[in-house]
Amino acid sequence: MTETPPEAPKFEHVLVIMAHPDDAEFCCGGTVRMMASEGTKITYIVLTNGDKGNHNLAVTVPQLVKTRMDEQRAAAKILGVNQVIFMGEEDGFLEPNRELRRRVVRHIRSLKPDLVICQNPEAYFRGSGYINHPDHRNAGLVVIEALFPAAGNPMFFPDLLAEGLEPHSIKELWVCMVDDPNHRIDVTDVFDLKVAALRQHVSQFDDLDELEKWLRERWAEADEAGVEHFFESYTRMWFT
DSSP class of residue 190? G
Question: Domain-by-domain residue ranges, the chain?
Answer: 13-238
- The contacts of residue 136 (CB under 8 Å, 6+ apart) are 19, 23, 119, 120, 123, 177
Residue 114's pLDDT band, with cuts at 50, 70 and 90, is very high
Separation in Å, CA 21 to CA 73, 75, 177, 205: 9, 9, 16, 13
Count CB neighbours of 179 within 10 A: 12
How confident is the model at residue 9, as a pLDDT? 84
71/86 Cα distance (integer angstroms): 13
Q: Mean pLDDT lowest for which of 98-107, 158-167, 184-193, 222-231?
A: 222-231
CATH classification code of 13-238: 3.40.50.10320
- Condensed to tens digits (0 to 9), the pLDDT of residues 139-155 reads 999 999 999 999 999 99
- The contacts of residue 179 (CB under 8 Å, 6+ apart) are 123
Spatial contact of 191 and 231, defined as CB atoms under 8 Å apart: no
Does a cis peptide bond (omega within 30 degrees of 0) precede residue 134? Answer: no
pTM score of the predicted model: 0.95
Q: Could you tell me which residue, 94 or 53, shows the higher pLDDT?
A: 94
User: Residue 221 pLDDT > 70, yes or no?
Assistant: yes
How confident is the model at residue 1, as a pLDDT? 39
* First and final C-alpha spacing in the chain: 19
